[in-house]
């Protein structure tokens, strides 16, 4: 058997007719920048997420930048976040001259441990950026309560979690600003780079719309220093088709995860399975287990036609680029342990029962 990790090709084939038509409609109109497909997508995103404002942008990374710029994050400000995530979460903090302040993760969800946040708050702290890792929102009730008490902003890095929920609300509809990514391999992906920011605050929404187009409030009048951060109309056209079917795809992902967990529970001596908190529903960007002897297992699976991936092999506090922050090995023991043991199995909405059985057999 040869298993496809994300199976992007199958998804394209499934919706090919409509997607091709949508792309060609853009080509026929040549409305490549900020065409009507963008407005259509933003309205559909608002409906889907429940957030009052959805503003599309050029990537998940730029979504994080837009959010922090809108909240006026300045050099020297401190932002509390998790060290166990993709680099973009902290890279964008550092790009703005602010300082990422890490907090270790919860050993079950692998999201930021809310109980350890308060100890890291200083007079310079401006915001908390929880990441909804692998598709599951962090402990948002606790995080929002800490933020409210200390006058901090909350920006959610929901790059992996579009469509996830926490206490019945999508994670795009929580915090001051929530960010997502439409990178092809994310749960809702386009055919290149793309992203969006969400907020319920009209002032922040207006500011982010302006920041996205070079801080412009009127053509060639620049109120802020901004970004060239628009989403391409062609990507919006692709997303307009895929979003229509996204609820179905999400349900399929959740079913695949449930089948994995059912199949693998007999191996609980050897594997630690993903844990989803009762308050949350994951978008299952990844199905990630923990195992000792990961490299040998990866090789063995590869030989059986089963691709795997490691999200992520090195926590951010140990990355060379963050050496100047002065962290050391041992500072965040749970993030460090999980990064040694974590292993993502093939995950996509179209994984067949036979494939899940086969993977289960080989593990």
CA distances from 36 to 29, 40, 133 (A): 10, 6, 32
The Cα 280–Cα 299 span in angstroms is: 33
For position 312 contacting ligand PLP by CB under 6 A, the verdict is: no
For position 240 contacting ligand PLP by CB under 6 A, the verdict is: no
| Closest CB 298 distance from ligand PLP, rounded Å | 20
The residue from 88, 211, 250, 306 that contacts ligand PLP (CB under 6 A) is 88
Q: Which contiguous run of DSSP H or E holds residue 291?
A: strand 287-291
Cβ proximity to ligand PLP, 67 vs 363, nearer residue: 67
For position 164 contacting ligand PLP by CB under 6 A, the verdict is: no
| Closest CB 242 distance from ligand PLP, rounded Å | 15
For position 159 contacting ligand PLP by CB under 6 A, the verdict is: yes
| Closest CB 88 distance from ligand PLP, rounded Å | 4
The Cα 340–Cα 175 span in angstroms is: 31
The Cα 133–Cα 231 span in angstroms is: 24
Judged by DSSP in three states, 22 sits in helix
Q: List the structure tokens of 39.
A: 């407005």
For position 193 contacting ligand PLP by CB under 6 A, the verdict is: yes
The Cα 16–Cα 20 span in angstroms is: 6
For position 86 contacting ligand PLP by CB under 6 A, the verdict is: yes
Count of chain residues binding ligand PLP (CB under 6 A) = 15
3-class secondary structure for 209-224?
HHHHECCEEECCEECC
For position 309 contacting ligand PLP by CB under 6 A, the verdict is: no
Cβ proximity to ligand PLP, 171 vs 355, nearer residue: 171
The Cα 112–Cα 138 span in angstroms is: 7
Cβ proximity to ligand PLP, 259 vs 317, nearer residue: 317
Cβ proximity to ligand PLP, 77 vs 193, nearer residue: 193
For residues 208 and 70, is the Cβ–Cβ distance under 8 A? yes
| Closest CB 299 distance from ligand PLP, rounded Å | 25
Q: Are strands 221-222 and 99-102 parallel, antiparallel or unpaired?
A: unpaired
The residue from 56, 165, 181, 235 that contacts ligand PLP (CB under 6 A) is 181
Cβ proximity to ligand PLP, 316 vs 356, nearer residue: 316
Mark the segment that binds ligand PLP (CB under 6 A) among 81-89, 110-118, 136-144, 298-306: 81-89
CA distances from 177 to 16, 64, 68, 71 (A): 33, 9, 9, 9
> What is the binding site for ligand PLP (CB under 6 A)?
59-61, 85-86, 88-89, 131, 157, 159-160, 181, 183, 193, 195
């Amino acid at each position: 058997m040869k298993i496809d990790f994300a199976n992007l090709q199958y998804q394209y084939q499934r919706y090919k007719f409509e997607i091709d038509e949508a792309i060609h409609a853009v080509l026929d109109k040549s409305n490549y920048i900020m065409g009507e497909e963008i407005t259509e997508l933003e309205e559909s995103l608002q409906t889907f997420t429940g957030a009052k404002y959805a503003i599309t942008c050029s990537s998940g990374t730029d979504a994080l930048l837009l959010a922090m710029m809108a909240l006026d994050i300045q050099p020297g400000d401190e932002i509390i976040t998790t060290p166990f995530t993709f680099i973009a979460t902290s890279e964008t903090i550092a790009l703005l001259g602010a300082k990422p302040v890490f907090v270790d993760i919860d050993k079950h969800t692998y999201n930021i441990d809310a109980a350890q946040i308060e100890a890291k708050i200083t007079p310079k702290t401006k915001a908390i950026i929880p990441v909804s890792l692998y598709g599951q929102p962090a402990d948002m009730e606790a995080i929002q309560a800490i933020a409210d008490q200390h006058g901090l902003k909350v920006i959610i890095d929901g790059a992996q979690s579009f469509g996830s929920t926490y206490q019945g609300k999508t994670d795009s509809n929580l915090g001051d600003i929530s960010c997502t990514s439409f990178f092809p391999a994310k749960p809702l992906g386009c055919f290149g780079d793309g992203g969006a920011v969400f907020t319920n605050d009209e002032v922040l929404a207006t500011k982010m719309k302006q920041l996205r187009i070079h801080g412009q409030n009127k053509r060639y009048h620049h109120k802020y220093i901004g970004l060239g951060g628009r989403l391409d109309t062609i990507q919006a056209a692709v997303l307009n088709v895929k979003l229509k079917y996204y609820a179905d795809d999400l349900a399929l992902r959740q079913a695949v995860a449930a089948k994995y967990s059912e199949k693998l529970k007999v191996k609980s001596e050897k594997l630690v399975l993903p844990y989803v908190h009762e308050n949350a529903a994951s978008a299952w960007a990844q199905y990630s287990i923990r195992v000792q002897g990961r490299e040998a297992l990866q090789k063995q699976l590869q030989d059986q036609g089963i691709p795997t991936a490691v999200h992520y092999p090195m926590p951010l506090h140990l990355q060379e680029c963050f050496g100047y922050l002065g962290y050391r090995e041992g500072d965040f023991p749970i993030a460090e342990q999980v990064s040694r043991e974590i292993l993502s199995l093939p995950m996509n909405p179209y994984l067949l029962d036979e494939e899940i059985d086969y993977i289960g057999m080989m593990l």
